[in-house]
Structure 1
């Protein structure tokens, strides 16, 4: 990985004093009285790196390169600060390079060829993940018919409340289920999923009762079905039954399209009925999908079903901030300006692609860790990978957004605010990619702080300029959407800043 020409190894600023040994020569009286004798004193090391080498040697006898040494040091608790304070090196990577060098050459006959990284789930699994964006959009086909039944008063508030609660609840449930699956407890994971799906309607009833003064029974019923769908679809996505979900909601899509074309009362009833039956079919399919895992035997559980409260708090905070980030900018335009309200469609359609590219990042980083021979090269390679993936995640919603804008312009419904809001949601795709990487590193605190900062900036600056429709100000939609675009770009920078301390730690990819 390194040689003597590497400045990080030879530079005395980064390398402490070499190992010192003492060998005494013959004394004068010994030479006079008898044959010359040599006295060897014990080898004494004053370099703490030598002690570190001896401590880690047993576990790193088959180390392939310095990156593997860095992974072991980081896993053992060594940080850049300890590398600087205790050993005199700039960071853990430079220290690992020196430890690897001092461990000596590879013993003859020792095969240290690294094994190839495991392959991903295959093309079918990739297509299944990419299809998630389309599945997220399917329920919106019933929105016009539901709007005609529920009416405008309270509809936006009810949708946002149910959507936020469902977003948080499904996120907590999915996190808990995946955690149990990782602990080898698929039966417990299925129990958590079933419990969540069955309690979702009750949660929807509670939220609907709170909204009765604003929209009556139709609005409350809509919130019940919305929450039920969010949790039921979580079950099907968890068990990779995407096609079941698509089949259950296909009638709602067809009848919703018919209502949009005809707009008749009978067609409205068929569209609403198809949507309700689709939600019930989704719930039944989700519960059925848990049956096979429910029969699996597992050892007596030592861990509780739900994660520790700090982890749950992080997941809840992330879900709340994500929902607020998306909804607070769109809420004022959902019923009044179609092009601004539709700006989120390209983002939602591309979220499956973003999820897919995030799932491939780990495999790419592992492959990079096996190819890289210089620690700084590994870190630079990781950031190049992130840059390419962010560009890819931006390109897909950008193409979809261009198609949407072209259609709106052809229909005479496009405004400058719609163009700016579409650009903001395209940028959000890149922000969500970085957010998924932060979630993988457990940096929920930074995620919540960053999103809170940009939300406050968007609303606060809008209030100062008099263009914050969320606060009841009229103002200019172009100015408001431009502020939102700027806040999303700032969010990308904050997420990248949050990744900087952790994304280059090689122990995450070993």
Structure 2
């Protein structure tokens, strides 16, 4: 009896002769299913229905990264140096496209798949939707303690949702969608519970309305994280659209009736979005869970890094805005162009890796490759500055038309435009796992802004009644410093060709 491997089957041929067969017995071929223990084979079969018409490894890499596969998952789970190397092996093992692919796969071609990331452009407007209801909520909650509640709830929600999202994407990249859904479900329920504790802490400063607002803010942030994870951002937009429309109507016309309707619509919108987010975590039929080859929960060092990055990002934004939220609308509104453009920043970051891989195919030596990488980063940062700059110009024009334009407002708007470029560099550092450098850099920027302001007696965060012009100028300088620190953190890692092979 001889054996051989043919495609996906094991071929056993029974030959004549010997004591085990009769001379007149014909030769027979038995086909047995091929059993593979290679995790890459499992991955190939899992993605084949969607990628059966992939034209190159770059398209496979984009799909794997969209599913949550990271370089660490490629190393730990599959034994490859990064996602692109893993994608190259997956593409090779998939073989030529099946003739029946048109009838069994997604009709979207490679050009359509390449632009799927454009959906992230809508993330910015989604972040802004609840802000339209803020004036109505402010009228109900009252001014005492409102800023404290907003900052504390926003910071806690930023960190909590960031850690939950990181853990879920890691599990998804390791082939464990059920575990990812379980983590998100637990985090989503625990978030508002933490908001209840926070609301009890700030209730003496604003009563029950402030406590309810803190819970709703945390619930909305968790709902946004889950619906973004499952690519159901449209559900979030539908849930919050009534609150946005009624909030805008109250802002224009005023009146207690519109105010009440805007607050009710905001609360119901948050409740609907949260319910939709929990529903999205239900496992679909046929969802398989890969065998565990790595601890389900990220290592403590990774969790600490993600927590530090989330905390630093929240403090970087809130510490400059908090003193002006209630008294200076021209300065407080300066963050709107940045928030609206964050979807564009996310999209351009998602395209960085594929653009870098294409650069490796053109560059022949390390020197030109490194120079090309930095030219590409420069172009992308310029684009990430241009988009919020246009939005900021529109904001300043609107403030000028209503007589609210001021020099501090202009400076704060410019600072937030510069932050868009800093966040692009920050996302690249996140992709390299440099959370320690990120946290340290943001701490240096915050200390520089507040510390120098304290020395000059113009740090409103410390209760000093100084000139807003000087304070916003210092904030702009700290953001430029942050850009330089982020670029410095990229120097040792961004030009290493091995990351893109």
Q: What is the TM-score when the length of structure 2 is the normalising length?
A: 0.77
1:295 is displaced (CA, Å) by 5.7
Residue 363 of structure 1 pairs with residue 354 of structure 2: yes
For the Cα contact (< 8 Å) 1:190–1:294, is it kept in 2?
A: no
1:122 is displaced (CA, Å) by 3.3
Q: Distance in 1 between matches of 2:204 and 2:175?
A: 47
* CA deviation profile, 1:57-109 (whole Å, cap 9, x unmatched): xxxxxxxxxxxxxxxxxx9xxxxxxxxxxxxxxxxxxxxxxxxxxxxxxxxxx
Name the SS for the 1:373 alignment partner. coil
- The answer for the alignment partner of 1:18 in structure 2 is none
1:200 is displaced (CA, Å) by 1.5
- The answer for the alignment partner of 1:140 in structure 2 is 131
For the Cα contact (< 8 Å) 2:319–2:461, is it kept in 1?
A: yes
Name the SS for the 2:298 alignment partner. coil
For the Cα contact (< 8 Å) 1:369–1:506, is it kept in 2?
A: yes
For the Cα contact (< 8 Å) 1:191–1:294, is it kept in 2?
A: no
- The answer for the alignment partner of 2:483 in structure 1 is 492
1:304 is displaced (CA, Å) by 3.6
Q: Distance in 1 between matches of 2:386 and 2:440?
A: 27
1:293 is displaced (CA, Å) by 4.7
Q: Distance in 1 between matches of 2:459 and 2:111?
A: 46
For the Cα contact (< 8 Å) 1:315–1:444, is it kept in 2?
A: yes
CA radius of gyration, larger in: 1
Name stretches of at least 5 consecutive residues in structure 2 with no aligned partner.
Answer: 1-71, 73-95, 97-108
The 5 A counterparts of 1:104-253 are 122=113, 125-253=116-244
Residue 470 of structure 1 pairs with residue 430 of structure 2: no
Q: Which has the higher contact order (CA 8 A, sep 6+)?
A: 1
For the Cα contact (< 8 Å) 2:334–2:392, is it kept in 1?
A: yes
Q: Distance in 1 between matches of 2:159 and 2:285?
A: 25
- The answer for the alignment partner of 1:427 in structure 2 is 418
For the Cα contact (< 8 Å) 2:117–2:350, is it kept in 1?
A: no
- The answer for the alignment partner of 2:316 in structure 1 is 325
For the Cα contact (< 8 Å) 1:142–1:252, is it kept in 2?
A: yes
For the Cα contact (< 8 Å) 1:347–1:425, is it kept in 2?
A: yes
1:385 is displaced (CA, Å) by 0.4
RMSD, aligned α-carbons: 1.6
* CA deviation profile, 1:381-425 (whole Å, cap 9, x unmatched): 000000000000000000000000000000001110000000000
Q: Distance in 2 between matches of 1:488 and 1:232?
A: 30
Residue 312 of structure 1 pairs with residue 303 of structure 2: yes
Change (3 A) 1:293 1:302: farther
Name the SS for the 1:502 alignment partner. coil
Q: Distance in 1 between matches of 2:243 and 2:111?
A: 34
Q: Distance in 1 between matches of 2:314 and 2:348?
A: 22
- The answer for the alignment partner of 1:51 in structure 2 is none
- The answer for the alignment partner of 1:404 in structure 2 is 395
- The answer for the alignment partner of 2:438 in structure 1 is 447
Q: Distance in 2 between matches of 1:413 and 1:224?
A: 33
* CA deviation profile, 1:458-491 (whole Å, cap 9, x unmatched): 1010011111011111111000000000010010
Q: Distance in 2 between matches of 1:255 and 1:332?
A: 27
Q: Distance in 1 between matches of 2:490 and 2:420?
A: 17
1:262 is displaced (CA, Å) by 2.2
Q: Distance in 2 between matches of 1:307 and 1:178?
A: 11
For the Cα contact (< 8 Å) 1:186–1:293, is it kept in 2?
A: no
Name the SS for the 2:476 alignment partner. helix
Aligned match of 1:265 in 256, 274, 281?
A: 256
Q: Distance in 1 between matches of 2:329 and 2:285?
A: 45
1:260 is displaced (CA, Å) by 1.2
Residue 290 of structure 1 pairs with residue 278 of structure 2: no
Q: Distance in 2 between matches of 1:398 and 1:269?
A: 35
* CA deviation profile, 1:7-37 (whole Å, cap 9, x unmatched): xxxxxxxxxxxxxxxxxxxxxxxxxxxxxxx
